[in-house]
């Protein structure tokens, strides 16, 4: 069995993403695209990238269940219409959203806090795509994008952070306000106030007038401060909160015995499972927990099962997979 190498800051930071927005200089922006221009953008991308390393998926030809799977894996967005496509690397670390909000949205993703490495990967992809034709660029404004908030570097960086202790202690509002003063955004992953997984995205809000290095450094530094607070609270809660320990142990018991597990319930239980692993209640690698959290979502579960899952068959299969895995993790 290969030796496990933890990703940087993986106890708090689940994953890193760097995204670059680019538009070709000689083609109308996506809001004005015709089918002919959209096809030209797709053609340029396909021609620029080696077919043995990247696969092009046109959304018009992609079944709904496959789109749902790609969304769950973070490889496409929910804004992908019929004129759009996705260029996906074989290792699933890079995806290029084509004709979405901009002609190209290059995104590189890695586990843990690896923003600098993500940026390097994104730049390499950017260089290859730019050989097909020049991007829209202004000496004063930088890269021109559909949204003015993305102009300049065209860079958005984000970290997915697991913050159960800060959430439980009621400090998230205070932390989000502090991030806002640094022109950063800290928002829940669930939307509309629903976040049973206690996952949060920390990202930059400003791209114009700042260098790529400054953007990465500001998000990375803020993440370190948030992670330090989260770790301190985890230690305190683990030592002093009987209610927390009771909740986590109950959740572990349910995961090891349940015969039905809905996707919604799994999101909350997966957060408890990760929290338990983070504080040493359960002997589980965090990368394995994160992989299971992602792969047991509905569309991914359906794809990997390679069969129909009518009624609550998916909930039964999810519970069975969880039970089998829990047998390997002592607690």
Domain ranges within the chain, ordered by starting residue: 13-230, 242-326
Please report the pLDDT score of residue 149 as a whole number.
87
pLDDT digits (tens, 9 = 90+) for 164-199: 999 998 889 999 999 999 999 999 987 555 788 899
Percentage, residues of the chain above pLDDT 90:
82
Angle at 129 between CA 127 and CA 130, to 5 degrees: 65
d(CA 23, CA 27): 8
Q: Mean pLDDT, to the nearest integer, of 221-240?
A: 95
pTM, 2 dp: 0.93
pLDDT digits (tens, 9 = 90+) for 78-101: 989 889 999 999 999 999 999 999
Q: Mean pLDDT, to the nearest integer, of 63-67?
A: 94
Buried b (16+ CB within 10 A) or exposed e, 30-62: beebeeebbebbbebbbebbeeeebebbbbeeb
Please report the pLDDT score of residue 236 as a whole number.
93
Please report the pLDDT score of residue 318 as a whole number.
97
pLDDT digits (tens, 9 = 90+) for 15-48: 999 999 999 999 999 989 999 999 999 999 999 9
Please report the pLDDT score of residue 229 as a whole number.
97
For 13-230, the fitting CATH number among 3.30.590.10, 3.20.20.140, 3.40.50.300, 1.10.3720.10 is 3.30.590.10
For 300, the 3-state DSSP assignment is: helix
């Amino acid at each position: 069995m290969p030796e496990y190498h933890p990703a940087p800051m993986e106890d708090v930071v689940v994953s890193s993403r760097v995204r670059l927005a680019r538009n070709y200089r000689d083609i109308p922006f996506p809001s004005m695209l015709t089918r002919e221009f959209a096809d030209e953008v797709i053609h340029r991308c396909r021609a620029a990238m080696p077919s043995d390393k990247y696969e092009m998926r046109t959304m018009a030809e992609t079944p709904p269940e496959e789109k749902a799977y790609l969304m769950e894996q973070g490889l496409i967005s929910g804004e992908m219409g019929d004129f759009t496509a996705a260029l996906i690397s074989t290792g699933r670390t890079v995806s290029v959203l084509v004709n979405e909000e901009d002609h190209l949205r290059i995104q590189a993703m890695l586990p843990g806090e690896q923003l600098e490495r993500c940026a390097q990967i994104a730049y390499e992809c950017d260089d290859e795509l730019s050989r097909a034709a020049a991007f829209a660029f202004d000496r004063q404004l930088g890269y021109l994008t559909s949204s003015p908030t993305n102009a300049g570097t065209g860079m958005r960086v984000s970290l997915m952070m697991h913050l159960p202790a800060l959430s439980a202690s009621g400090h998230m509002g205070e932390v989000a306000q502090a991030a806002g003063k640094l022109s950063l955004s800290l928002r829940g992953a669930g939307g509309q106030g629903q976040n049973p997984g206690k996952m949060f995205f920390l990202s930059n809000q400003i791209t114009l007038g700042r260098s790529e290095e400054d953007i990465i450094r500001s998000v990375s530094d803020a993440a370190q401060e948030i992670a330090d607070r989260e770790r301190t609270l985890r230690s305190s809660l683990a030592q002093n909160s009987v209610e927390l320990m009771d909740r986590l142990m109950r959740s572990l018991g349910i995961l090891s015995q349940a015969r039905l597990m809905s996707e919604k319930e799994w999101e909350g239980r997966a957060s408890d499972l990760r929290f338990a692993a983070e504080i040493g209640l359960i002997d589980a690698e965090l990368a394995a927990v994160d992989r299971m959290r992602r792969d047991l979502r509905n569309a991914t579960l359906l794809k990997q099962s390679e069969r129909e899952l009518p009624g609550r068959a998916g909930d039964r299969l999810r519970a069975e997979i969880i039970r089998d895995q829990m047998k390997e993790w002592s607690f």
